[in-house]
Amino acid sequence: MVYMLHEFEFILKEPIKYASKGQENLGFRLTLKAPTAKHREFLIKLKQQFFKALAGLRDNKSALDDKGTGADQELDGTQVLMMLYMSGIDMVDFQNVMRAMILQGLGNLDEVPLTGYLLDQVDQNEFERLIGEYITSFLLSSWTGTLK
């Protein structure tokens, strides 16, 4: 039996301001939890799009191989994101679904639950990096049965 990762920490390059217990703080550490059956509607959409992207690139395998990500190597978050953008799936929809899922109780900024207001303060490039790491930690590892 393989035990899966239940959460991971994502360190932001730029802090987010938030209030907690009457104090203004700067947060760098996002903790993201694995999705559960409660999140299935979001998760199914994300997995469908992810595997559609993977299948679409199967015939154009050389695009990823040129970047050093052959089939025998593990994909990291950056490579996953590159693959998604190259696939032609609707990345606006993908990111919106990912954001909505995270906001269903799957994230904290330090000890504070992640809200839409806080998540919207994350730089777009950082958010994309977060998406890539989330996919490799939970979606991809759940399919391959391996830990990141």
Greater confidence, 142 or 106? 106
List residues bridging with 17 in a β-sheet.
Answer: 26
Could you report the per-residue pLDDT of 77-109, keeping only the tens digit for each?
Answer: 888 899 999 998 999 999 999 999 999 999 999
Residue 97: helix, strand or coil by DSSP? helix
Number of domains in the chain: 1
CA distance 54 to 60: 10
**Least confident piece of the model among 12-26, 46-60, 80-94, 125-139:** 46-60
| Residue 147: per-residue pLDDT | 42
Residue 1 lies in a domain: no
Taking CA atoms, 82 is separated from 2, 37, 75, 134, 139, in Å, by 28, 28, 10, 14, 16
Q: For residue 59, name the pLDDT band (cuts at 50, 70, 90).
A: low
**What tokens were used for 9?**
């920490």
- Residue 117 placed within a domain: yes
Query: What phi and psi, each to the nearest 5 degrees, are found at residue 89?
Result: -70, 165
3-class DSSP state for residue 40? helix
Residue 131 falls inside a structural domain: yes
User: Containing domain of residue 26, as a range?
Assistant: 7-144
Quote the mean pLDDT of the chain.
85
Give the pLDDT mean for 38-64. Answer: 81
Q: What share of the chain is helix, strand, coil (3-state, %, to 5)?
A: 50, 20, 30
In a domain, 2, yes or no: no
The reported pTM is 0.81
Q: What is the pLDDT of residues 62-81, one digit of tens each?
A: 555 555 444 445 778 888 89
In 3D space, the residue among 88, 105, 95 whose CA is nearest the CA of residue 39 turns out to be 105
Which of 122, 133, 125, 129 lies closest to 27, judged by CA?
Answer: 122
